[in-house]
Structure 1
Amino acid sequence: MDTTRIDKWLWAARFFKTRSLASDAVERGKVKFNGDRTKPSHNVKIGDTLLIDNGATEWEVVVCGIAEKRGSAAVAQTLYGETAASVEKRRLTTEQHHFFREPASALKGRPTKRDRRLLDQSSS
């Protein structure tokens, strides 16, 4: 077994929760095979490069192993190797996401009159 369908591989490598989600992503062009769009039935082999966008994260991976069945997460991680550029890009993306911190999250219970004044003053 040196090749397998791209949708099966994406599912086995745990990039998508179901095989049908993987197939839909390939059809919509969210998965690029060696830089080009492809079909879900296209075969992948060791050494191929895939650009994968599952909506939340983007990866650039090189196929290091072939599997037809979905195994544990530890086994799935051995099926691919992420490129250094992809790792750096994901790190920068997560650092740029500064989520709004709720001002009252540091307070325990209901705010006092003084706490309320401070909250109102900081929001103005």
Structure 2
Amino acid sequence: MRLDKFLKVSRIIKRRSVAKEVADKGRISINGRPAKSGTDVKIGDELLIAFGSKDLTIRVDDIKETTRKDEADDMFTVISENYREDKEKDNL
């Protein structure tokens, strides 16, 4: 399954267009390699997603074409969630 579609179906990112934009800006890596929106995601892959001030690492547990909201959490496991310090705060 395409990376952008997985992020939308699993509800990690709400809209596929936003998931595509984030991936194409180089803010997502799969198993340590930079990934674009069309990169295939497989069960067992580890995704590192760089949100604004947070890095989210997840493992893909299941792939479904569609899912209900209560089933979306079963598609992945959160491995770590790290918050980065803002560099501007350090300069104050």
Q: TM-score, normalised by structure 2?
A: 0.80
CA RMSD of aligned residues (A): 1.8
* AA in 2 matched with 1:78: D
CA distance in 2, matches of 1:66, 1:9: 7
The percentage of counterpart residues that share the same residue type is 32
- Structure 1 position 7 matched with structure 2 position 4: yes
- Structure whose residues are more often helix by fraction: 1
Structure with the greater alpha carbon radius of gyration: 1
Measured after TM superposition, the shift of residue 69 of structure 1 is: 2.3
Say how many residue pairs are matched.
84
Tell me which residue corresponds to 1:113: none
Instruction: Return the TM-score normalized by structure 1.
Output: 0.61
Amino acid at match of 1:40: S
Q: Which runs of 5+ in 1 are unaligned?
A: 97-124
Moved over 3 A (4+): none
Q: What 5-or-longer segments of structure 2 have no aligned partner? A: 86-92
The reply to whether residue 80 of structure 1 matches residue 76 of structure 2 is yes
Letter of the structure 2 residue corresponding to residue 77 of structure 1: D
In structure 2, give the amino acid aligned to 1:75.
E
Q: Which has the higher strand share?
A: 2
